[in-house]
Amino acid sequence: MTKKENHQDILARSELLAFFQANPHTRDTAYGLASRLNRSSKRIKTACDILVGLGVLQTNCNTKNKIYSLKNKEILRRYS
């Protein structure tokens, strides 16, 4: 955990990983994912962008809003 990170940021990433593990075919915006997880859209967007950087999620940048989805559905199965 870095100085700028807090427990809520780590929790948001963990919840996203658990959500995508249970719903591997989901494609949604940060706002939609935040609504599903009852978190702020800003925190979820940050968490999603970190997971994109790690290669866990991918985005569809052809739309006005980023659509996040699981990049490789097998990646989370290894950890279940």
Q: What is the pTM of this model?
A: 0.85
pLDDT of residue 80: 52
Residue extents of the structural domains in the chain? 8-77
Give the pLDDT confidence of 19-67 residue by residue, as tens digits.
999 999 999 999 999 999 999 999 999 999 999 999 999 998 777 889 9
Sheet holding 67-70, edge to edge: 27-28, 67-70, 57-60
| Residue among 17, 25, 70 at smallest CA distance from 44 | 17
CATH fold group of domain 8-77: Arc Repressor Mutant, subunit A (1.10.10)
Q: Is residue 16 within 8 Å of residue 34, measured between CB atoms? A: no
Q: Is residue 5 within 8 Å of residue 50, measured between CB atoms? A: no
Rounded Cα distance between 64 and 6, Å, is: 30
